[in-house]
Amino acid sequence: MGMRRRTGGFVLAVNPIQCDGFGHCTELAPDLVRLDEWGYPIIDKTPVALSNLSALESARLAVRGCPRQALRIERVSDLPEGPAHRT
């Protein structure tokens, strides 16, 4: 069997109970996080392909940089077919 491509995806997930709402994550991962009017993160639940290395690196930066450890990367094993996921 040959090498498998990285076909899965990920979503950046926030625990709203831990989050302090200062919005540091939007600076670390501006392509993944935007803020609501109170400064709490709004994260698109659409999976991002693991092959999108710049988005994955942004997500890792946000996870490491979150002062409340409120963020985590959740793996999604199968991306939906077609344009439903972000690449």
Chain contacts with ligand SF4 (rule: CB under 6 A)? 14, 19-25, 41, 66-68, 70-71
- How do strand 9-14 and strand 41-43 relate by DSSP bridges? unpaired
Q: Find the shortest distance in angstroms from Cβ 77 to ligand SF4.
A: 24
Q: How far apart are CA 64 and CA 3, in angstroms?
A: 30
Q: Find the shortest distance in angstroms from Cβ 43 to ligand SF4.
A: 9
Q: Which is nearer to ligand SF4, 29 or 56 (CB)?
A: 29
Q: Find the shortest distance in angstroms from Cβ 81 to ligand SF4.
A: 31
Other CB atoms within 10 Å distance of the CB of residue 2: 4
Q: What is the CA radius of gyration of the chain?
A: 14
Q: Which is nearer to ligand SF4, 20 or 78 (CB)?
A: 20
